[in-house]
Structure 1
Amino acid sequence: MNVCFKIDGYSGRERRVFSAPPSEVNVYLSKAPHDIMTVGPILRVHPSLHVICMIRDPRDTVTSMHGKAPDRYWAGLKFWKAYIPFWQKVRSHPRFTTIKYEDFVADPDETQDQLVGAIPFLEQRAPFSKYHEVAAPSQFSKDALGSVRPIRPTSVGRWRNHRSRVAGQLDLHGPITEDLIAFGYEEDDSWLQELEGVEPDKSPSHHSEQFSRTDLWVRRSMGYIGALIVLARRMGVEPLKIVDWIPRRWIPSQI
């Protein structure tokens, strides 16, 4: 997004949607996957906010690795199970755009056209298909993702090379077939035949396999806290006092 559109300011690392831009900018870009649990209330009070949500086959997601933890899978199905109900609540909002990862990597320029149609102030600088030719990623991004590569569908369906992982995640978190059908990844439950006789791999992911009740409560509450932060800023009020009671690990260093 930052490379291929005209973006005045962006965060090189994950930054919450209610965080203030580091400077005065017209178009500011941020990213934080767990913001899906908070954007509902914030969209109601932030009229210039647009949200892009990327959906990916959860079987491929749970088999992803990360440069920071190359010896284990990065995250399990707990995120999918927690996030989908929030997506369902906000998916029809006019400033909320859902992109399927598989569509993006198959035809990145078509996805870019979709975003231009959904977010009127975006100005294209380069086509998504040429991203690898013009990108200059930060060291943080290189550490996480490795080298800059063309956008290609090479990782779609790779869960079939990690069937034990998928079987283990189903044992830990429950079925996902209804979701797979709803998002067009499967037509029925016949895909489960590919897991028959597979020994489930329940080895720990980099992220813990379950949310604590406190974690979930805080994550859900941050939508309303974030909305208060946005409203406070719009009224010229320092918002830090609003979040003093929240554990600091859930709050960005700059809000």
Structure 2
Amino acid sequence: MFKHIHIVACSPRSGTTLLHEAMVTCFRTNKHYDHEIRFHLVTAKNNDVVITKRPKDTLYMPGVIDDPNLYVIYVTRDPRDVIVSRHGKSEDMYYSNIRLWRELHACARSLFGHDRFLNIRYEDFVNNPDATQSQITAKFPWLEKQHKFSEYHEHAQVSEKSKVAMRGVRPIGPTSVGVWRKHLGRIVQQQAIHGTMTPDLVGCGYESSPDWEVVLDGVLPDKSNSWYPEKKPFWQRISQSIDASRKIAIYRRKKGLSRISGATNDR
């Protein structure tokens, strides 16, 4: 068997690409994939160390976390910054939304405290990458450090897909923290559709009260579309639940895991 670290998140546009590139550059690994890969498709040789990422795979992790060779890193990011972020391949459209953030984060919360599950805040990572690297090595001491996260850009060999997602390779820094303040109309519109984000923000430690919402007073909503749908029809939820169960079953058979754990919807 091989040791597999899989990076998942509260949403796409939460920093998983940057963290993945930093990890495969700064830790010794035997294999990694150029960009994203679903958890159940990963292969490697015995005793290899493999690091992969796919943010939406958060939804599957409760169904496979009993695999003793699977280690999960979950990236939490301020939902306000998540929903105003745009992907390099679709600059004319906001990428994620509150519906997806809540769906993924609710799933991740069931794993908080697990021995092989590590929650990392995006804001901590970009403000102090070396401290985050120390947090990772403390949790997974079998990882072999080669470079500091703060020096990753000096050693990185990044795939073209990752370059597009990250808009290039540069030093890790907090330039994208708090960008939601430049997109208040987007925040107003998302709250009109999905309700106030205050409970989410307080629960994750980003705010202590609803007082932050005063900046939204008098702001007109930005009705731009999201790449991901704001709602999923019932038939789609059922179809995706079946598909999720299938992927989990494939993984469990491959790993020789006997107990069938719960599944949930994808996207």
Which TM-score bucket, shorter chain as reference?
0.7 to 0.9
Give distance in 2, aligned partners of 1:127 and 1:175: 39
For 1:210 and 1:201, the matched residues in 2 are separated by 18
Pairwise CA distance, 1:205? 1.5
SS of the residue corresponding to residue 129 of structure 1 reads helix
How do 1:22-33 residues align onto structure 2 when only pairs under 5 Å count?
Answer: 26-33=48-55
For 2:175, give the aligned amino acid: T
In 1, Cα distance between equivalents of 2:168 and 2:252: 40
Identity between Structure 1 and Structure 2 (%): 36
Give, in angstroms, the shift of residue 225 of structure 1: 3.3
Distance 1:215 1:33, change over 3 A: farther
Q: Structure 2 vs 1, CA of residues 212 and 121 (structure 1 numbering), >3 Å: closer, same or farther?
A: farther
Q: 1:116 to 1:9 in 2, by over 3 A?
A: same
Aligned to 2:149: 128
Measure how far apart 1:114 and its partner are: 0.5
Match of 1:50 in 2: 71
Gaps of 5+ in 1: 237-249, 251-255
**1:149-175 superposed Cα distances (whole Å, 9 cap, x missing partner):** 111111111100000011111111112
Q: Distance in 2 between matches of 1:214 and 1:31?
A: 28
CA distance in 2 between counterparts of 1:73 and 1:136 reads: 28
Task: Please state how far the C-alpha of 1:221 moved relative to its aligned partner.
Answer: 4.9
**Counterpart-to-counterpart distance in 2, 1:10 and 1:18:** 14
- Aligned position for 1:35: 57
CA deviation profile, 1:24-54 (whole Å, cap 9, x unmatched): 661112211111111011012x111000000
Q: Which of 23, 27, 32 is equivalent to 1:10?
A: 32
Query: 1:227: how far off?
Result: 3.6
The 1:182/1:134 distance shift into structure 2, 3 A limit, reads same
* Alignment check: 8 A CA contact 2:84 2:186 kept: yes
Contact 2:35 2:159 (C-alpha < 8 Å) held by counterparts: no
Give the aligned partner of residue 162 of structure 1. 183
Contact 1:54 1:98 (C-alpha < 8 Å) held by counterparts: yes
Equivalent of residue 103 in structure 2, options 74, 79, 82: 82
The 2-side partners of 1:127 and 1:221 are apart by 42
Distance 1:22 1:50, change over 3 A: closer
Whether 1:232 and 2:253 are equivalent positions in the alignment is yes
**What is the CA distance between 1:218 and its match in structure 2?**
4.6
Does 2:257 match 1:211?
A: no
Distance 1:55 1:235 in 2: 31
CA distance in 2, matches of 1:138, 1:155: 21
Name the SS of the counterpart of 1:154 in structure 2: coil
Structure 1 contact 60–156 (Cα < 8 Å) conserved? yes
TM-score, length-normalised on structure 1? 0.86
Q: Report the 3-state secondary structure (helix = DSSP H, G, I; strand = E; otherwise coil) of the residue aligned with 1:52.
A: strand
1:197 corresponds to 2:208:
no
Summarize the Cα distance change of 1:68–1:25 in structure 2 as closer, same or farther, 3 Å threshold.
farther
TM-score, normalisation: structure 2: 0.83
Instruction: Give the Å deviation of 1:211.
Output: 2.4
What SS class does the counterpart of residue 99 from structure 1 fall into? strand
Contact 2:201–2:207 (Cα < 8 Å) also in 1: yes
Q: Deviations over 1:98-131 (max 9, x none)?
A: 0000110110000000000111321111111001
Mapped partners of 1:85, 1:158: distance in 2: 24
Cα shift at 1:215: 3.7
C-alpha spacing 1:200/1:114, structure 2 compared with 1 (3 Å): same
* 1:175 aligned residue: 196
**3-state SS in 1 of match to 2:222:** coil
